[in-house]
Structure formats: structure tokens, C-alpha cells
Amino acid sequence: MAHVIGEPIDRIDGHAKVTGKAVYAADAKTQKLAFGAIATATIAYGEITSIDASEARRQPGVLMVMTHENAPEQAPWVPKAEDPFARPKPQLDSKKIQYFGQPVALVVAETFEAAREAAALIQITYLANKGAFDIEAPDREIKDPKTDVVGKPAASKIGDIDTAMRTAAVTVDSTYKTPYQNHNMMEPHASTAEWTGNMLTVRSAVQLVESAHQCIATTLKVPPDQVEVIAEFIGGGFGGKLPVYGDAILAALAARELKRPVKVVLTRQQMFHVTTHRGASIQRVRLAATQDGTLTGIAHESVAQTARADDFVEPIVAPTRSLYAAPNRLTAQQTVVLDLPIPGSMRAPGEAIGLLALEQAIDELAVKLDKDPIELRLKNEPKEDPEKHIPFSTRNLVACLQQGAERFGWNKRSAKPGANKQGQWLVGMGVAAAIRGNILRKAEAKVTMNSATSATVEMDMTDIGTGSYTIFAQIAAEILDIPLEGVTVKLGHSSYPITPGSGGSFGASSCGAALLDACKKLKARLDKHEGPQGLSAMGRVEPGDEYKKFAQFAYGAHFAEVGVDADTGEVRLRRMLGVFDAGRILNAKTARSQMIGGMIWGVSSALFENQEVDTRYGSFVNVDLANYHVPVHADVPAVEAIALKVFDEHANALGSKGVGELGICGAGAAVSNAIYNACGARVREYPITLDKVLPALG
């Protein structure tokens, strides 16, 4: 049997992507396509008192103006559901305004230009109420949720942290702030909807095809078997395309009314308000340690934004429950209810910002103890999950730290800040650990032999840039013992077997394991000389006891070197290395890309990203890519990622763990720790822009 799984195979969808032939949601070619443009609310909290769309309707080429006054009936929104992304998402269903930028009208016209202008011509008056927009306001409304977004307890307590802090030789008690952030994937949210008789087809940029399928069907009160959702190519998701938004629902409603296909695309500016974002947080970390660096207490408490319009509890303190040993422990998370747009999952929800705080606090402790931060981490390596008291499935954090230190040349680092000046640059190194919960979800896959050497794989899974198409082809080729070129992978269609989709780094393992099961079943029948042509098998996977018996995480260690300009405080990344334990790697090339991409996201959260709120208006201010900074080429020097050879037998039959979010976890803290090492600036409010570094430069 040819060894294909894990090999650094070029993406099988690469040709389509480099030739412009890959069809994204806004690329659908269809006859008589009409163009929709959304108008959005210019107040944050209140209600519409009047709408005058007469001028908009008079514009040449305008086909319809839909507002809450004439929108078709839809299923009502519900606050809770087992699958929150499958909930009805009614649009223009009331005069109520719950956040700035909420869609208040849809214009459909013969051309994009006419629709855009007409949307701007709609005159709306509002009654504005006083909303709450400031996460730090003295009179803020704080909630104590029982559980976080994934249903885990919001708080935990073991031993007595207060006594541990009082009696410890050395302590750290620091508060960190992380800002609002936006996914800003390159592809704006887009949908093209078309009705053929009573059958609705929606091409939409969504990560979860089945959730979108149910959401659209229920919202429109149409039987699910009359709705198909297609998402063959998605221009990035990062969690921002887990939900369905107004583009899909409004396109579907308008297409039904007009009896012709309608395309609706959010503008880049609209994405900042209409879609979810990562909520801001304030995090307090307390560490208690003996003089030799043994942690006696660890506490992590967070306060983060939730929206009045929909609740979201980001599991910010989750990584702190499993990363280090300590007898006295406390974690807690609260939310502040604001009338801002709705927060949601963004790449590694929880770990991404929780580790910005925890892993900087560990560095602060190392400085206080005058101890190497790697040694400090090794000293507090737990033998079992410190809160659940169950074994880890696999845990190679120590190897990640040690191998990374060796490769990066950590021994060249001076512990003293400001000791390494190279010309104008103060140069420093930082390290941080990565941990990310490993998740398996129920999934199904179908594989069919087309001939003795070719097969077709079908799943409603999506490839949001993660490499799904390619790794599934590798699995099928290896197990069925056929050439890679003989495998056709069909994804992103609601008629295919149901998978959890792309999110939470569970896609590759869940879908891959289901496909492995299908292929093994099919191979057994082929070996009995059935088929081959037309022979097919279904495979399944669902999480079993292994997820209760073992604490499952992926791990990593980040090493960053930065330069800080001694005069201006400009921070520039010079090089970076990540060493990861993500279980078995399914494609060395695409996994490396995922890990590097995640690391750069971490750098971005440390240095750049900040969606600023104007608390007078309740709106985000820097709502475009000129003012909301993500890294550009020049910000990214040599970044390398290495995966350890690991097989996690408890994770799934493939032995793989999630890799898509691992890279961001802790990466930003390695950068902030490197900044401290470079120049002595300990900045606890992200992003670390030069204005926060300057005061330390003297």
C-alpha cells in the first residue's frame, strides 16, 4: 500500500485557485442575476420610527426595496439551541435596532451600482435609546454565566488561591486587556440565491454547510429538502463564517419575491458590524510560587463582552485549567452585556486571548524568580490533567519547548532586557507555550469506486483554506490503494453526508476519521472481490469514552525574536519558530501552512489588531483594512513551524489532533515576552503599539 497520508502533497485544488477558476459564493454565474445591497442602522440601540424608500424605489434599475415594513414572514429568532448556528436568523423582522450596523433594508437592482446608490438613498428616522457600550464603565452590567460557549463550567476552584498568594515566596498579580478583533478573512460574506420552482439553491460563504442548510430552511419556513446549500470554495473563515448572516437570508427572500437569482455581498466596512467579532476582555492572572519556581497557586479570571442581542461566553480561562500543575487553582469568567454587535468564535476562541495573558504572566514570574522561562515551564509540567485528574492522551509540551529552544538558539538569549543592541534595534527573544483543546465531532462520509483505480469522496465538509480537499484524497488513496489522481473529492454541498464542517479544528480529524472508516469498509469489500465499479460505503465517527477518560489537547512552543527601534519604539518581528504536537500530521505541507498562518495571527494580535469602539455612538470606528491593521508581507520575516512525530491513539483512528488553531495559541505572548526582553517594556494592554513601548525607552 502506497504511503500517502501525511505526505507533503500539493493541494489538489491548487490549480483551480491559481487560475481563478475556483468558484466562490460571489462568483456564481447565472442568468438574469440581480444585485442586492444592504442598508444598515446608524444608531446602536433603539427603534426605527419611519422609513422613506420612495427615492430609492424611483432609481432606474431598482427592482425592490425590502424593509421591516414589507419583509416576508420568517421564523422568529430563539436565544438557545443545541446548534446555535442552525437557529433561525430572521432579517428585517422588526423595527428594533440592537446594534449599530444592523441590516435595516435590502435593495435589489439590475446592477450593483444602482443597488448600492439606492441603498444609500433610503431615509430612515430612529428613536435612539441610551445603550451600554463601554466594557469598563463603572455601571456596567456584569453577568456570571454558568457555562461557556462549549458548555463547560464557566468557573472552577481547587484549594485556596488567596492563601497560596498570601503565603507564597514570589507572586504575580497582573491584569491584561485584549481588544475587539475582527476575522477579516479576505472574502467578504456573500450569497447567491436562486429558486427553481419551490427548490432553493444558495451558494454561500459558510463554514458549516448543514447548520446553514437548517438555518436557511427554518428561517424561510421551507422544508429542508427544498433547500440546497453550496460552499465549494470559501475565502477564509476563522470562525467568522460559522453563522449565517443577512446576505444569505436576504438573497433567498428577495430571489423568491423577484423570481430571479439574487446576489448579496457585504461590504468590507459592513463586515465589522454585521458579522461577529472577538469580544474585548480584561483578564487578571495570579501566580504563586516557591523560590525554586514551583507553582503553588494559579488563578485566571476574565471579563469579556457579550451582546444584549445574543449571548456568547468565550472560554478564555480554559487553557489555564490544564497547562500547569499547581495545588491551588481558580478560574472564572464573567461577561459584560453591551449593546454592541454580537461577539463570536474567532480562531481559537478562548486560548487565543487567554494565553496572551497567562503566558505573559508566566514570563513575569520567570523575571521575578530570575529563572529561565523555559525551565520555569518544565518545572510545572503536570503529570495528569490538574483539574480533571485524568491522564493526558498525549502531551509533548516538554519536547516542543526543548527542541524549539535548541533549534532557535535560545541559549544565545540574555535574560537582561536591553542587553542586545544591534544598531538602532534593541533585540529580544521570547517564548510561550501553546495548548488547544482537541475536539472530535460526529461525522459521516461516503466513498464510491468509479473504477478499479478511481473513487469519489462525498462530505458536506468545507475547505476554508485548511487543505480538506487534499487530505481526504490522501486518506482515500492510501486506504483504497489507488493513485491520488484517481480520487475525486466533493465537498461543500448539503446533499452530501453530514459532517460538523470547519470549525474548532475538529474538521480534519472528524471528517478524516469518518472517511477512514468508509474507506476501510469499502476496501474490505473490494478485497472480497466485490465491485469495484459503483461500489460504495458510508463511514462514521463520533466521540466516545476516550474524550472522557483522557484530557485531549494539542501543544506547542513559540519562539520569537523582535527588534524594537530604540528611538521610535517600532516593534518588528525578526524571526519566529513554532514546534508543535498536533498528533499525526495528515499533510506535512498544508499543516505547516496552517501552523505558520496561526502563528502570524498570534503576532498580529500582539502587535496590530484593534477594532476600536466609539462609546458615544456604540460603533466600531476603524472599519476598513486601511485602519484595522492585519500583517502585510513586510511584517512577516522568516517564520518556521515544525511538527513532532506523534500519533494520538485516543484522539481518533487517524491519530491526528486539530492543527488549524494551534498556531495562534500563545504566539502573541511569545512576541510580548520578546518585547520585554528587548527593551524592558512590559505592556499588558494589547496590541503592543509603539505608543505603549515609548515610555519604557527613556
Confirm if 85 and 208 have CB atoms less than 8 A apart.
yes
Does 163 sit near other proteins (CB under 8 A)? Answer: no
Does 152 sit near other proteins (CB under 8 A)? Answer: no
Considering only residues 332, 398, 636, 653, which one is a binding residue for other proteins as defined by CB under 8 A?
A: 636
How far, in Å, CA of 330 to CA of 110, rounded? 59
How far, in Å, CA of 541 to CA of 687, rounded? 40
List of residues 6+ apart from 423 with CB closer than 8 A: none
Radius of gyration of the chain (CA): 26
CB of 395 to other proteins, least distance (A): 27
- Region near other proteins per CB under 8 A, out of 267-275, 370-378, 397-405, 435-443: 267-275
Does 680 sit near other proteins (CB under 8 A)? Answer: no
Eight-state DSSP code of residue 308: S
Does 26 sit near other proteins (CB under 8 A)? Answer: yes
CB of 43 to other proteins, least distance (A): 6
First-to-final CA distance of the chain? 65
- Region near other proteins per CB under 8 A, out of 283-291, 351-359, 539-547, 611-619: 611-619
Considering only residues 29, 259, 383, 412, which one is a binding residue for other proteins as defined by CB under 8 A?
A: 29
Catalytic residue of the set 359, 458, 609, 661: 661
How far, in Å, CA of 90 to CA of 221, rounded? 11
How far, in Å, CA of 262 to CA of 499, rounded? 28
How far, in Å, CA of 389 to CA of 325, rounded? 11
How many whole angstroms from its chain centre is CA 9?
Answer: 25
List of residues 6+ apart from 444 with CB closer than 8 A: 459, 497, 498, 499, 514, 538, 539, 540
For other proteins, the binding residues in 165-204 under the rule CB under 8 A are 183-188
The crossing angle, in degrees rounded to 10, of helices 351-369 and 588-607 is 70
CB of 353 to other proteins, least distance (A): 18
Considering only residues 324, 392, 580, 601, which one is a binding residue for other proteins as defined by CB under 8 A?
A: 601
Considering only residues 153, 368, 589, 685, which one is a binding residue for other proteins as defined by CB under 8 A?
A: 589
- Region near other proteins per CB under 8 A, out of 7-15, 277-285, 429-437, 644-652: 7-15
Does 269 sit near other proteins (CB under 8 A)? Answer: yes
- Cβ nearer to other proteins, comparing 99 with 550: 99
- Region near other proteins per CB under 8 A, out of 127-135, 360-368, 443-451, 648-656: 127-135
Considering only residues 7, 59, 153, 159, which one is a binding residue for other proteins as defined by CB under 8 A?
A: 59
661 has catalytic annotation: yes
Contact pattern for other proteins over residues 349 through 388, marking x by CB under 8 A: ----------------------------------------
Instruction: Give the cell for residue 565.
Output: 527601534
Confirm if 589 and 9 have CB atoms less than 8 A apart.
yes
Instruction: Give the cell for residue 197.
Output: 420552482
- Region near other proteins per CB under 8 A, out of 245-253, 544-552, 624-632, 673-681: 624-632
* H or E segment and range at residue 96: strand 96-97
Question: Which of 694, 668, 697 has the alpha carbon at shortest distance from 432?
Answer: 668
Considering only residues 150, 155, 642, 694, which one is a binding residue for other proteins as defined by CB under 8 A?
A: 694
For other proteins, the binding residues in 305-324 under the rule CB under 8 A are 308
Does 334 sit near other proteins (CB under 8 A)? Answer: no
Does 137 sit near other proteins (CB under 8 A)? Answer: no
Collapsing DSSP states into helix, strand and coil, what is residue 684?
coil
Considering only residues 467, 492, 578, 658, which one is a binding residue for other proteins as defined by CB under 8 A?
A: 467
Does 75 sit near other proteins (CB under 8 A)? Answer: no
- How many CA within 13 A on the CB side of residue 573? 34
* CA-to-CA dists, residue 77 to 42, 447, 548, angstroms: 22, 37, 33
Does 115 sit near other proteins (CB under 8 A)? Answer: no
- Cβ nearer to other proteins, comparing 23 with 332: 23
For other proteins, the binding residues in 410-439 under the rule CB under 8 A are 424
